[in-house]
Structure 1
Amino acid sequence: MNHVSPIRPKLALLALLISGIALPLWAQDPLQRPEPRPADLAAEEAEGDAPSQPGPPMFGLAGPYLAARMATVQSDFRAAARYFARAVAHDPGDQYLQDNALIAMISAGEVSRAVKLASEMAKDDRETELAHLVNRAQLVQQGEWAALLDEEGAAAVGEGDLLVGMIHGWSLLGAGRASDSLAEFEKLSELPGVGSIVKYHLGLVRAMVGDYEGAEALLSQNGVASHLLGIIARAQVLAQLDRREDAVALLDGVPGIEAEPQLLMLRERLHAGAPVAFDVVKTPADGISQVFLTFAGALSGSPEPEPLALIHARLAAWLSPETGEARLLVAQLLQERHQFDLAETEFDALRRQGEVRPVAELSRIDALSRADRPNEAERAALSLTAAYPDLPQAWIALGDLLRQQEKFAQAVPAYDKALSLLKDMPAQARWFPLYARGIALERSGNFDRAEADLLAAIEINPDQASLLNYLGYSWIDRNENLERGLEMIKKAAELSPGDGYILDSLAWAYFRLGRYDEAVAPMEQAIGTMASDPLVNDHLGDIYWKVGRHREAEIQWRRALSLEPTDSGDVDPDRIRAKLDRGLDAILADEERETKHADPARPRVDSARNE
């Protein structure tokens, strides 16, 4: 890999703004290299690269390289950084390994280590595009504007170097060349397809040099300042123009402002006549941080977020640690990659900065729940409801957590509070908490209230498959409204034809109604999507038995047992063994004599989370 020119993102592909950076070539395997020098290993250990737990023996280059690749596949950035650093120690001149180490280090939040490596690559005249980006970020962080401008040269705007051009524009301002900075952004704003992005930054520059009229003319344009930082910037600019009423009207028009403490505090200061400074960017470094944040947001918005979205978000947070939006985006990108511990570090930083933002905390609660840390998630939800008692989303999140832990009776008051806060909101905002409270009520034995909630939710959202499935099956399980319940489940299956849970409910509804032949097809479809679910296998066995396919029924029951169901789950392994021993008819006869349901299974939905 040879030395390459600076990154040149192409404007025609905004979602791939940084596609010029050399991504890891996973098919490329470096050749076996000599053992590292003792000095290399000593330096590595001094930097804390040794694993906290003993790992497998690493012989030569192959061991750490393969371990690094496995860690990368699993998005275990800390381990990937550790092992790629070891691989680089074995071969200090391999740019492929160095680039991968940079990606892993920055993704893990170890930006200082990445800066050191990138600097070494430049000294050895082996600077890659990614290393070049990191070295420029270091110059920005140090305020070395003259060195940065000398190193860059003039930005080649005509070739479409948006990232280079925007960094160059802010660097000119950092060097005290305000007129040149404005001229640079003016040229960039003429490029097709990126007008709103560049105009936002041009507005920030104009505000920083005191041209608030010019800044407002730019920020007020459609789509230029529609994001959180843009709204704050425009409100602050309006305050400098002594147009506080316009600033308050702007903030009042933001949907969901009650969930954004930054906007609420700004509105309060505007109302009170308190001083309001323009400080959404305090330095040119903050401006470049927002450039990286802009690119990170564009890259993360694609259906399959680019890996380099996290790189740009990390650099944005490193350059401007007080910019909560950058830390929040980092946390969200880490959550998408199931790196919940790393995400939690970012949420902790936001709280230390005094930014207990509902959007961040709700995201954090979801991350903790998905990381199987329910106690921490519940504490976070309780803290959020205490901090924002009038925020219905906080109470819904708490109710969801309690419901997921099967604390159904405790979940009901949380949903009660949420629904009381939503009473004057549009009906569409109420359907999910009604549905969730209906589940909690039904599971805690209060079916009359549950039925009312579920019917109310269906009236609001009549085409929600899981909702129809839940009420329909609940009726059939209780031997009530049988035909209407079956029609609901059939509609749910039409709305969501590939949902194995709904197919299971449809088949089991036919079974409960004694329509065994009709139950076979949907249950076989369900098993096709949920072959490893012991309940579905058990149900299919029962249906096969009832249509005379006893041998196949026994196979399904044994299959259910092989999946190791527990007594605390939906499947009773002792009951399956009894069916294998005596047959289903004998078991049902015993249960009828004991006045028990044949199988009190409840409808299941695809997820206990918000849909």
Structure 2
Amino acid sequence: MTTRLIPLALIALIAAPMPQGTAMAAPSLAQAEKPEPQNSERPAHRPADTAPEVRGLSGPYLAARMAAIQNDYPEAARYYLQALAHDDSDPFLQDSALVALISAGEMERATALAGTMSGQGRATELARLVQRAEMARAGRWDALIEAIDAAPSPEGDAGTPGGGMLIDGMMRAWALLGAGKAGESLTAFKKMAELRGAAPMVNYHLALAKARVGDFEGAELLLADPVTGAHILGVIARAQVLSQLERNRDAIAMIEATPGFAEEPYLVALRDRMARGETLPFDSARGPADGMAQLFLTFGSVLATTDEPDPLALIHARLAEYLAPDLGEARLLAAQLLQGFGQFDLAEREFEALRELGDMRPVAELSRIDALARAERLGDAEKAALALTAAHPELAQGWIALGDMLRQQDKFAQAVPAYDKALDLIGDASPEARWFPLYARGIALERSGQFPRAEADFRAALKIRPDSPQVLNYLGYSLVDRNEKLDEALALIQRAVELRPDDGYILDSLAWAYFRLGRYQEAVAPMERAVAAMASDSLVNDHMGDIYWMVGRKREAEIQWHRALSLKPETEADAQRIRIKLERGLDAVLEEETAAGGRRPEVRAPEPAKAD
């Protein structure tokens, strides 16, 4: 997730209890206010897992609920709208449909539904938020101020503008600026900044507002504070402010001191423009609607920083891109959230939108490639990686991604040059950054029949991370398979087992190493542990059968081979080999394979991760 978009202090701000009168607007995902039935002790809020009490809705309602559980937002929206066709006045269905429509990016239909709910006098918190975004997009600032001021106030907080909600208070400040009341706007921001814990977020928006009205000195004072401006949008805004103050040299130094700036082409472009003597325009917030879009982005980014991102993060990201369609960070956040929710096709739409904006940032493209690969669209992922390396040939991560996509399609020989390029770009200055491409290139080399180079890469990777179970396992098994340096090979695998004693792949390697060395009795225990860890893996069960056969447990061997067949071996050749073993026994198979030059089993290793 894009945690770098916001100061870390904001995480604490949102996670901690808000001060009285500053609760964050949090639209309900599955609950909506329903009138309290007379003479009933049931709560006014219907639980999320309770079906609406209306007839004729069970089919579409249950389909909508299932789609929502699976994060299939377009389908959930379709079925909820079908249910609403039977009864368009149920607030539970309306709010659920609204969530699905926004999550799917169908903002026109969402705003229409929010208007219907308001017209019925049934507007929920989410519906009111959507209507405020619509007013801001249309530039109806006076109407927006009036709507916020008329919002219901939390109990005990009557009279506070915006119902006492932090997000409403900040929207109101931006709306005042849109209505031409700059003084009142700045005063409102300053008042919000006094709230406990709110200053980092509010001061960033106050800085944007100050810069919008020409107070660049005041904006610089705020953005210079790391807790206010130490995120990519803050860095961009500050660079523009400094440039407006004729301080290009300071702006360049600030950009170059930003961690990872070289991987952000937009920051590099800003630096280069100022180095040529150009004065940057201030367009970080071209108006109050842009400011409100960044407000939604801020809340969405904070909600996305949890281990399991809050679905509300996507709601806020969608509202941000609705208000500012060319705000790349909002589209990137939406894309990454959709990836995390398993909605790869929806994520791809956001990545395509970024490309259409001419905003091919490496972080976005790398996320896009990952999303395509996880959706098993490896050909499209390869094309995206090729496009990234063409646009940014200086980016090592792009070449690594290309190598990975080629390797995952078994194009091992083609993957090698991609890893070569990545390692050339990384150089020798950053050994840790070399570990993964060395390991991955080693696999590609080994699988393309270039073992001497592969061995050198594996050993170089082990110098960087001596206790990498992945590399120890791969190198050790490769040596055993080649009948080379057998004592060292077995020691490498045994060390990998010590580091990951429950890893089924590595246990399988250890057992198979014993098997290849003829130490069949010693192979039994680790292979049984491997089967326990990977009971549904066809090859592991096949190996178990071979080992049982060699220690004389032939009936058990046949059971394992039958199980391996039932688990659908990876290739038809593997399946046929198991059938022959069942018909004629392993001894006959091995004799024929020895006469034909031997059968070389593949190294048993999981897809390499970028970190152990």
Give 1:12 deviation, angstroms. Answer: 6.0
Q: Which residue, 119, 139, 143 being the options, matches 1:143?
A: 139
Q: SS of the counterpart of 1:224?
A: helix
Question: Counterpart of 1:400?
Answer: 404
Q: Distance in 2 between matches of 1:161 and 1:110?
A: 26
Q: Distance in 1 between matches of 2:590 and 2:24?
A: 65
Give 1:163 deviation, angstroms. Answer: 1.4
Question: What is the identity percentage for the equivalent residue pairs of Structure 1 and Structure 2?
Answer: 58
Question: Counterpart of 2:6?
Answer: none
Q: Distance in 2 between matches of 1:158 and 1:344?
A: 36
Which residues in structure 2 correspond to 1:69-218 (within 5 Å)? 69-153=65-149, 156=160, 161-218=165-222
Q: Distance in 2 between matches of 1:266 and 1:213?
A: 20
Q: Distance in 2 between matches of 1:158 and 1:332?
A: 31
Question: Counterpart of 2:416?
Answer: 412
Q: SS of the counterpart of 2:536?
A: coil
Q: Distance in 2 between matches of 1:156 and 1:524?
A: 67
Question: Counterpart of 2:153?
Answer: none
Give 1:610 deviation, angstroms. Answer: 7.5
Larger CA deviation: 220-229 vs 403-412: 220-229
Partner amino acid for 2:52? P
Q: Which residue, 487, 490, 494 being the options, matches 1:486?
A: 490
In structure 2, relative to structure 1, the CA distance for the partners of 1:64 and 1:174 (3 Å cut) is same
Question: Counterpart of 2:510?
Answer: 506
Larger CA deviation: 274-283 vs 491-500: 491-500
Task: Tell whether the 8 Å contact from 1:314 to 1:326 is kept in structure 2 after alignment.
Answer: yes
Q: Distance in 2 between matches of 1:12 and 1:220?
A: 23
In structure 2, relative to structure 1, the CA distance for the partners of 1:413 and 1:464 (3 Å cut) is same
Partner amino acid for 1:440? A
Q: Distance in 2 between matches of 1:517 and 1:190?
A: 73
Q: Distance in 1 between matches of 2:205 and 2:49?
A: 39
Give 1:20 deviation, angstroms. Answer: 4.0
In structure 2, relative to structure 1, the CA distance for the partners of 1:121 and 1:157 (3 Å cut) is closer
Question: Counterpart of 1:331?
Answer: 335
Deviations 1:225-250 (A, max 9, x none): 12111110111111111111110011
1:27 and 2:49 matched: yes
- TM-score, structure 1 length as denominator? 0.90
Partner amino acid for 1:125? G
Task: Tell whether the 8 Å contact from 1:408 to 1:444 is kept in structure 2 after alignment.
Answer: yes
In structure 2, relative to structure 1, the CA distance for the partners of 1:412 and 1:606 (3 Å cut) is closer
Q: SS of the counterpart of 2:246?
A: coil
Q: SS of the counterpart of 1:223?
A: helix
In structure 2, relative to structure 1, the CA distance for the partners of 1:139 and 1:159 (3 Å cut) is closer
Question: Counterpart of 2:582?
Answer: 580
Q: Distance in 2 between matches of 1:419 and 1:396?
A: 9
Partner amino acid for 1:602? V
Larger CA deviation: 500-509 vs 351-360: 500-509
Task: Tell whether the 8 Å contact from 1:15 to 1:301 is kept in structure 2 after alignment.
Answer: no
Q: Distance in 1 between matches of 2:266 and 2:26?
A: 36
Question: Counterpart of 2:604?
Answer: 603
Q: SS of the counterpart of 2:228?
A: coil
Larger CA deviation: 533-542 vs 484-493: 484-493
Task: Tell whether the 8 Å contact from 2:422 to 2:437 is kept in structure 1 after alignment.
Answer: yes
In structure 2, relative to structure 1, the CA distance for the partners of 1:487 and 1:326 (3 Å cut) is same
Q: SS of the counterpart of 2:79?
A: helix
Give 1:258 deviation, angstroms. Answer: 2.8
Partner amino acid for 1:22? S
1:561 and 2:565 matched: yes
Question: Counterpart of 1:13?
Answer: 15
1:241 and 2:245 matched: yes
Q: Distance in 1 between matches of 2:366 and 2:13?
A: 34
Question: Counterpart of 1:366?
Answer: 370
Partner amino acid for 2:302? A
Task: Tell whether the 8 Å contact from 2:472 to 2:495 is kept in structure 1 after alignment.
Answer: yes
1:61 and 2:54 matched: no
Larger CA deviation: 553-562 vs 338-347: 338-347
Q: Distance in 2 between matches of 1:217 and 1:402?
A: 49
Q: Distance in 1 between matches of 2:110 and 2:28?
A: 16
Give 1:32 deviation, angstroms. Answer: 3.5
Task: Tell whether the 8 Å contact from 1:468 to 1:491 is kept in structure 2 after alignment.
Answer: yes
Deviations 1:276-313 (A, max 9, x none): 11111111110110010011111111001011110100
Question: Counterpart of 2:40?
Answer: none
Partner amino acid for 2:580? A
Question: Counterpart of 2:273?
Answer: 269
Partner amino acid for 1:577? R
Q: Distance in 2 between matches of 1:399 and 1:162?
A: 47
Q: Distance in 2 between matches of 1:423 and 1:78?
A: 46
Task: Tell whether the 8 Å contact from 1:157 to 1:188 is kept in structure 2 after alignment.
Answer: no
1:591 and 2:593 matched: yes
Task: Tell whether the 8 Å contact from 2:25 to 2:167 is kept in structure 1 after alignment.
Answer: no
Task: Tell whether the 8 Å contact from 2:436 to 2:610 is kept in structure 1 after alignment.
Answer: no
Task: Tell whether the 8 Å contact from 2:162 to 2:169 is kept in structure 1 after alignment.
Answer: no
Question: Counterpart of 2:554?
Answer: 550
Question: Counterpart of 1:53?
Answer: none
Question: Counterpart of 1:39?
Answer: none
Deviations 1:250-279 (A, max 9, x none): 111223323212111111110011131111
Q: SS of the counterpart of 2:226?
A: coil
Task: Tell whether the 8 Å contact from 1:178 to 1:209 is kept in structure 2 after alignment.
Answer: yes
In structure 2, relative to structure 1, the CA distance for the partners of 1:19 and 1:187 (3 Å cut) is closer
Q: Distance in 2 between matches of 1:112 and 1:425?
A: 52
Q: SS of the counterpart of 1:23?
A: coil
Partner amino acid for 2:373? S
The RMSD of aligned alpha carbons is: 2.2
RCO comparison, higher one (Cα < 8 Å, 6+):
2
Task: Tell whether the 8 Å contact from 1:328 to 1:346 is kept in structure 2 after alignment.
Answer: yes
In structure 2, relative to structure 1, the CA distance for the partners of 1:385 and 1:539 (3 Å cut) is same
Q: Which residue, 355, 359, 374 being the options, matches 2:359?
A: 355
In structure 2, relative to structure 1, the CA distance for the partners of 1:478 and 1:194 (3 Å cut) is farther
Give 1:399 deviation, angstroms. Answer: 0.8
Give 1:465 deviation, angstroms. Answer: 1.9
Larger CA deviation: 410-419 vs 420-429: 420-429
Give 1:576 deviation, angstroms. Answer: 1.2
Deviations 1:369-423 (A, max 9, x none): 2212222221111111111111111111111111000001111111111111111
Q: Distance in 2 between matches of 1:416 and 1:429?
A: 14
Question: Counterpart of 1:36?
Answer: none
Partner amino acid for 1:28? T
Give 1:132 deviation, angstroms. Answer: 1.2
Deviations 1:489-542 (A, max 9, x none): 222233333322222212222222233333233222222232211001101112
Q: Distance in 2 between matches of 1:199 and 1:497?
A: 51
